[in-house]
């Protein structure tokens, strides 16, 4: 379908002119000698073995890095649990493992990624205007063994972070070369099979990295998951960390059958087991093929960084959460389809120097993203066969942002980081329901400020505040008719707006502001112990979301979240690491409503702790405990989920210098907890009678005890 390219061209030109204008202004000042010298910033964080390096350079108590060693030491159930290396983050699943995980952070049930920005090598993972949910972030295409580190930031205090980053941002980086090539084979419970081959070679004056992953798993489910995926990676890098060029290609494809969350009454009645399903035809298939290019140059007084990406993505997801509630004859299974080409670029220029004898750095940045969505649809299905299309849309979504950030050292123990960000969005929606087609645009400006005091005795204090935002589904910016009601009775669109039988709905604000603040400290005063303590607050004007299951938009209420986080990392010896992360949050709707003020699904207490023994006469071992506290499931707090406590363990031995065997025991004590819980209405004829229904907790259990054995050979 041809598009009018004039608007997109104008947007790009305006963004480019804005960036060049600030660039030229700062360049003129630089020529006058204001910027001279070299002050290091945290734009590129060198991942080290110690968090102590961040005292004196970090801008908040809740930003940090996770090393490759920390990632490899952890026994994990699924790829998504890589993100649990970030303090306070919990990852769960309510469906098949090929689907994006459910994420929790700072009092948010983030669904599949809303308000948590995730990227891999500067390529965003979150998908706006997505078939299943706004901000959908599936990281199954990541190969954990090739991740060189994870950088994280929490809160809306960073000028270079935009959409979906109100609660936090997580950036994963890949290695550029390996010390040794290796092959790894893993076999485990429930027909878990995984093969990985990776290596690197010198080529054309640089390094060529490659990796191939083959994966299969049935899982513990009565109806086998049959999850198959392929991952491939090829990367060429030339130069050093500060001056380099890199290009990377990634390919991922997966398909699976899923056991979605099921009604508790179906288990209690004996209709199904804890690992049973009420619709064995649910599942999905997905792919993501990506190309990323990066370029960095660092001189005596400046640093330039640029990256560009393009990705082809698709998803067909079949789910059934209410069984026979809406369609007693056909069943309530539905298909959510998404196909798109996303592309974008990021560029930044930093100048280091002094002003009036004080150290200063200035950064100007440009970010552009385009999502050409050729299909985003919702269809009613029976055993994956479509019988009704609720809505099907073609969406062109474009966003660009310019930002400026200034770091200034006012005194030996006082520095500030001030920034401002401007985001601009356009949407062009073509719907199978003409009344829902149209164009829209919106913009938002987000100021930021951080004040850093210290360090004194290896202790630094932080005060942070700022505005952020999240975008809403682009279809909500042009919608005028409820798709579900329209399909049932198209004449409802002709009724007066005040008629109770009308199917007209209101458009939503495309961009919703968030504001947050925190105070914290980071200390390394105790030898070999790094600790961070933070008190934070975050408010969102309105969590307006597109409800993918209904093809409609729903405006939730304004909210306020407060909390405390305490993170600790202790290395008493060279071969022993102890860590403890504690987070508590309170989430409330910030208005008056008889329904109550609790936010369903919002986490309260989260505790993660671990002990790791590394490279002790060839042995390695790790044990981790994760406590996920209870959560309200309805606004009046009358129904709550149970808490869960899981223990995972790993033991391994390296022999003959090039061989290693590792045994993971997951859910060591075989806890029969829930991975996730919801409360809503559903219909099960065998229990409720034909046409009957009931409100109930719908649960997805954690995996039972599983054992996996991995054999690795290096060469």
238 in a structural domain: yes
pLDDT digits (tens, 9 = 90+) for 631-668: 999 999 999 999 999 999 999 999 988 999 999 999 99
**Separation CA 16–CA 362 (nearest Å):** 18
Q: Does 1 map to a domain?
A: no
> Is the pLDDT assigned to residue 557 strictly greater than 60?
yes
Extended strands (E) in 524-670: 529-540, 544-547, 552-555, 559-573, 576-589, 605-616, 619-628, 644-655, 659-666
Q: Is the pLDDT higher at 31 or at 481?
A: 481
Alpha carbon 214 to its chain centroid, in Å, reads 23
> Considering the domain boundaries, does residue 490 fall inside one?
yes
What's the rounded mean pLDDT across residues 675-695?
Answer: 95
The pLDDT of residue 544 is 52
Q: In what order do the strands lie in the sheet with 674-682?
A: 262-263, 694-701, 674-682
Helices (H), 32-187: 68-73
Q: Please tell me the total count of domains within the chain.
A: 1
pLDDT in tens, 586-631: 999 998 889 999 999 999 999 999 999 988 888 999 999 999 999 9
Residue 241 binned pLDDT confidence (cut-offs 50, 70, 90): confident
- Alpha carbon distance 586, 262 (integer Å): 28
Of the candidates 202, 74, 101, the residue with the CA atom closest to the CA atom of residue 662: 74
Residue with tokens 């806890």: 671
Structure tokens belonging to residue 543: 């969590």
Sort 497 into a burial class: Cβ within 10 Å, 0-12 / 13-18 / 19+: exposed
Phi, psi (5° rounding) for residue 411? -155, 175
Q: What angle do CA 65, 612, 216 make, to 5 degrees?
A: 80
Q: Are 615 and 604 in contact (CB under 8 A)?
A: no
Domain hosting 470: range is 6-714
Q: Find, among 432, 399, 387, the residue nearest to 551 by Cα.
A: 432
Structure tokens at 307: 């990256």
For residue 366, what are the CA distances in angstroms to 21, 309, 348, 399?
Answer: 12, 14, 6, 11
**What pLDDT digit, counting tens, does each position of 472-482 carry?**
999 999 999 99
Q: How far apart are alpha carbons 93 and 225 in whole angstroms?
A: 13
Q: Which of 14-28, 182-196, 438-452, 477-491 has the lowest mean pLDDT?
A: 14-28
Is position 308 within any domain?
A: yes
Give the model confidence (pLDDT) of 153-167 as tens digits: 999 999 999 999 999
pLDDT score recorded for residue 343: 98
The mean of the pLDDT values for the chain is 90
CB 343 within 8 A of CB 370: yes
Decide if 435 is inside a domain. yes
Of 498, 493, 497, 494, the closest CA to residue 482 belongs to 493
262-320 tens-digit pLDDT:
999 999 999 999 999 999 999 999 999 999 999 999 998 999 999 999 999 999 999 99
Residue 235 lies in a domain: yes
pLDDT tens profile 319-372: 999 999 999 999 999 999 999 999 999 999 999 999 999 999 999 999 999 999
Domain assignment present for 538 = yes
Structure confidence at residue 12 as a pLDDT band (50, 70, 90) = very low
Answer for the pair 189, 706: CB distance below 8 angstroms, yes or no: yes
Q: Is 400 within a domain?
A: yes
What CATH number should be reported for the domain holding residue 17?
2.40.170.20
DSSP state of 632: B
């Amino acid at each position: 379908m041809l598009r009018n390219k004039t608007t997109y061209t104008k947007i790009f030109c305006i963004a480019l002119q804005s960036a060049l204008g600030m660039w030229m202004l700062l360049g003129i000042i630089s020529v006058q000698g204001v910027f001279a010298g070299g002050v290091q910033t945290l734009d590129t964080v060198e991942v080290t073995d110690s968090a102590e390096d961040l005292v004196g350079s970090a801008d908040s108590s809740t930003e940090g890095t996770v090393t490759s060693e920390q990632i490899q030491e952890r026994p994990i159930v699924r790829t998504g649990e890589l993100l649990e290396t970030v303090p306070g983050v919990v990852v769960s699943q309510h469906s098949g493992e090929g689907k994006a995980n459910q994420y929790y952070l700072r009092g948010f049930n983030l669904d599949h990624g809303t308000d948590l920005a995730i990227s891999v090598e500067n390529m965003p993972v979150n998908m706006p205007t997505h078939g299943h949910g706004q901000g959908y972030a599936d990281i199954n295409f990541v190969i954990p063994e090739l991740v060189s580190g994870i950088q994280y930031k929490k809160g809306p205090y960073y000028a270079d972070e935009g959409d979906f980053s109100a609660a936090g941002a997580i950036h994963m980086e890949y290695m550029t070369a390996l010390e040794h090539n290796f092959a790894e084979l893993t076999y485990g419970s429930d027909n878990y099979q995984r093969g990985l081959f990776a290596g690197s070679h010198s080529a054309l004056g640089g390094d060529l990295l490659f990796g191939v992953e083959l994966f299969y798993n049935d899982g513990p489910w009565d109806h086998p998951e049959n999850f198959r995926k392929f991952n491939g990676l090829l990367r060429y890098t030339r130069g050093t960390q500060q001056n380099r060029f890199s290009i990377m290609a990634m390919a991922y494809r997966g398909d699976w059958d899923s056991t979605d969350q099921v009604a508790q009454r179906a288990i209690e009645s004996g209709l199904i087991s804890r690992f049973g399903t009420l619709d064995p035809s649910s599942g999905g298939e997905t792919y993501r093929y990506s190309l990323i290019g990066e370029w960095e140059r660092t001189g005596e007084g400046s640093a330039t960084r640029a990256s560009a990406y393009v990705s082809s993505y698709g998803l067909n997801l079949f789910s059934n959460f209410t069984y026979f509630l809406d369609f007693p004859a056909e069943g309530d299974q539905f298909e959510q389809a998404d196909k798109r080409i996303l592309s974008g670029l990021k560029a930044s220029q930093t100048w280091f120097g002094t002003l009036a004898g004080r150290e200063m750095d200035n950064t100007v940045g440009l970010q552009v993203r385009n999502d050409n969505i050729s299909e985003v649809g919702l269809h009613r299905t029976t055993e994956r066969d479509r019988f009704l299309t609720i809505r099907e849309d073609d969406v062109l979504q474009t966003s660009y942002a310019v930002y400026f950030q200034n770091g200034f050292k006012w005194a030996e123990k006082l520095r500030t980081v001030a920034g401002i960000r401007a985001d601009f969005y356009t949407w062009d929606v073509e719907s199978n329901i003409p009344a829902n087609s149209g164009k829209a645009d919106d913009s938002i400006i987000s100021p930021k400020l951080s004040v850093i005091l210290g360090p004194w005795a290896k202790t630094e204090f932080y005060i942070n505040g700022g505005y952020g935002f999240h975008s809403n589904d682009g279809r909500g910016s042009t919608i005028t008719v409820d798709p579900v009601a329209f399909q049932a009775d198209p004449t409802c669109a002709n009724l007066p707006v005040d008629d109770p039988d009308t199917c007209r709905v209101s458009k939503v604000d495309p961009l919703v502001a968030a504001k947050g603040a925190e105070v914290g400290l980071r200390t390394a005063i105790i030898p070999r112990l790094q600790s961070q303590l933070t008190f934070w607050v975050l408010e969102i004007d309105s969590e307006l979301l597109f409800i993918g299951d209904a093809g409609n938009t729903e405006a939730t209420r304004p909210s306020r979240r407060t909390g405390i986080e305490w993170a600790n990392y202790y290395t008493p010896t060279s071969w022993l690491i102890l860590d403890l992360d504690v987070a508590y949050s309170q989430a409330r709707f910030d208005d008056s409503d008889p329904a109550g003020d609790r936010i369903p699904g919002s986490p309260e207490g989260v505790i993660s702790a671990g002990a790791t023994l590394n490279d002790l006469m060839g042995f390695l071992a790790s044990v981790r405990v994760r406590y996920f506290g209870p959560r309200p499931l309805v606004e009046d707090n009358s129904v709550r989920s149970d808490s869960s406590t899981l223990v995972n363990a790993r033991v391994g031995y390296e022999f003959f210098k090039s061989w290693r065997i590792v045994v993971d025991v997951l859910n060591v004590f075989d806890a029969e907890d829930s991975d996730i819980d919801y409360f809503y209405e559903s219909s099960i004829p065998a229990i409720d009678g034909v046409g009957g229904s009931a409100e109930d907790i719908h649960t997805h259990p954690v995996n039972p005890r599983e054992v996996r054995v991995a054999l690795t050979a290096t060469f």
